[in-house]
Amino acid sequence: MSVKILAIESSCDDTGAAVLVDGKVLSNHIANQQVHEQYGGVVPELASRAHQENIVPVVDIAMKAAGIKREELSAIAFTQSPGLIGSLLVGSCFAKSMAMALNIPLIGVHHMQAHVLANFIEDPKPDFPFLCLTVSGGHTQIVLCESPLQMRVIGETLDDAAGEAFDKSAKLLGLPYPGGPLIDKYAATGNPNRFKFPEPRIPGLNFSFSGLKTAILYFLQEQQQQDPAFIANNLPDICASIQQRIVTILLNKVAKAASETGIRDIAIAGGVSANSGLRNALTVYGQQHRWRTFIPKFEYCTDNAGMIAITAYYKYLAGDFADLAVVPTARAAF
Ligand code: KG4
Ligand code: ZN
């Protein structure tokens, strides 16, 4: 009998629903929340309210797009952790109610594990073991993956996440939230070698981005004292230089992890893996180091329910179901 899963993602500010049949994602719909833009960041209470408004229509669209009826479903999956607790509660309550009403299993999914498994939605897929650089708004991790459900973090950020480094740099440049995609856009026409920002010396496989943020702040203050229009006159070069530094910090650590573990299948995942500088640089590093590299399609990089569905599929096959009394948690290890 075929396995049909409805997956729901509501960890932060996007409401997602996806339908998977036998390991293939048939539909993947997302409703973004514009309400946060004016506040310069996600407002948790507003996010929960918007999830409540969006969840029924988003699920409806995903089910219709896949051509699947509720009665055909084998299980309902949801993001259990980590995330904003109010947002997670909306998705988990919805998933639990639907699983209870249909009398089918419930599957709780770890959001960061799902980002990694976004690399398994489409071909080509990495071989095990592989390394995944998972870079999002809240996390920066190098994950060693031994099997779909066996992963461990071998390096992570000690302060800001890579997405925060992008967003906070963008804020210093006067760009709206989330600034990561805008830095990417302006960087496309800029010279990445024009300005030099420092690479932190952090031992092992861990990262740090707070020093870079401070260096950018002082650099901009100094330049603006001489030329008040410095940012406006040099935006593409500033963005390209910041992006290049963030990307080299990330990939130099991945190269260290690859050489220490001897692993040559290297994947990236998470919202920041949508960054074109990172995607291009991974390919270049891959050629230099003879890695096989894996980059998910854009729609599976930023938050989406397709990645929750593929993770739930492996959990379904492993018989790893959640109790109806399960509660989401804001923080949790794999
Ligand atoms: O994975 P994600 O969608 O949500 C979290 O789980 O955090 O990641 C969101 C992060 C934000 O910091 C956003 O600025 C960043 O990913 N991001 C980008 C790009 N697209 C999204 N950063 C740089 N370049 C991009 N193209
Ligand atoms: Zn995410």
Task: Please indicate, yes or no, if residue 89 is contained in any of the structural domains.
Answer: yes
Task: Please indicate, yes or no, if residue 144 is contained in any of the structural domains.
Answer: yes
Same domain, 160 and 243: yes
pLDDT of residue 1: 83
SS3 35: helix
Report the relative pairing of strands 14-21 and 4-9 from DSSP bridges. antiparallel
Same domain, 19 and 76: yes
Measured from the CB, is residue 163 less than 6 Å from ligand 1? yes
Q: How far is the CA of 262 from the centre of ligand 1 (A)?
A: 29
Measured from the CB, is residue 209 less than 6 Å from ligand 1? no
Same domain, 289 and 306: no
Q: Which residues contact 136 (CB under 8 A, 6 or more apart)?
A: 112, 115, 161, 162, 163, 270, 271, 272, 303
Same domain, 74 and 187: no
pLDDT of residue 102: 98
pLDDT of residue 129: 98
Task: Please indicate, yes or no, if residue 110 is contained in any of the structural domains.
Answer: yes
Same domain, 194 and 285: yes
Same domain, 279 and 186: yes
Measured from the CB, is residue 138 less than 6 Å from ligand 1? yes
Residue 184 contacts residue 195 (beta carbons within 8 Å): no
Q: How far is the CA of 252 from the centre of ligand 2 (A)?
A: 23
Q: ω into residue 105 within 30 of 0, thus cis?
A: no
Residue nearest atom 3 in ligand 1 by C-alpha distance: 302
Task: Please indicate, yes or no, if residue 185 is contained in any of the structural domains.
Answer: yes
Same domain, 11 and 55: yes
Same domain, 146 and 263: yes
- Cβ atoms within 10 Å of 310's Cβ, excluding its own: 28
Among the listed residues 88, 73, 97, the one whose alpha carbon sits nearest the alpha carbon of residue 20: 73
Same domain, 170 and 103: no
**Mean pLDDT score of the chain:** 97
- Which residues does residue 269 pair with via DSSP β-bridges, in sequence order? 134
Measured from the CB, is residue 274 less than 6 Å from ligand 1? yes
Residue 211 buriedness (CB in 10 A; 0-12 / 13-18 / 19+): middle
Is the C-alpha dihedral spanning 326, 309, 34, 177 positive or negative? Answer: positive
* Number of domains, the chain: 2
Same domain, 306 and 290: no
pLDDT of residue 333: 85
Task: Please indicate, yes or no, if residue 327 is contained in any of the structural domains.
Answer: no
Domain that holds residue 56: 4-116+301-317
Q: What CATH number corresponds to the domain at position 24?
A: 3.30.420.40
Residue nearest atom 13 in ligand 1 by C-alpha distance: 180
CA–CA separation, 116 vs 146, rounded Å? 12
CA–CA separation, 306 vs 226, rounded Å? 49
pLDDT of residue 288: 97
Element (H, E) at 183: helix 180-187
Tokens of 330: 């804001």
149-154 contact pairs (CB < 8 A, 24+) = 149/113, 149/314, 149/315, 149/318, 149/320, 151/113, 151/116, 151/334, 152/334, 153/333, 153/334, 154/205, 154/257, 154/261
Task: Please indicate, yes or no, if residue 121 is contained in any of the structural domains.
Answer: no
- Which residues does residue 135 pair with via DSSP β-bridges, in sequence order? 140
Residue 312 contacts residue 20 (beta carbons within 8 Å): yes
pLDDT of residue 21: 98
pLDDT of residue 322: 98
Task: Please indicate, yes or no, if residue 272 is contained in any of the structural domains.
Answer: yes
Q: How far is the CA of 136 from the centre of ligand 1 (A)?
A: 5
Same domain, 180 and 242: yes
CA–CA separation, 111 vs 330, rounded Å? 11
| pTM for this entry | 0.95
Same domain, 240 and 308: no
Task: Please indicate, yes or no, if residue 332 is contained in any of the structural domains.
Answer: no
- Give the chain's residues under pLDDT 50: none
Q: How far is the CA of 1 from the centre of ligand 2 (A)?
A: 32
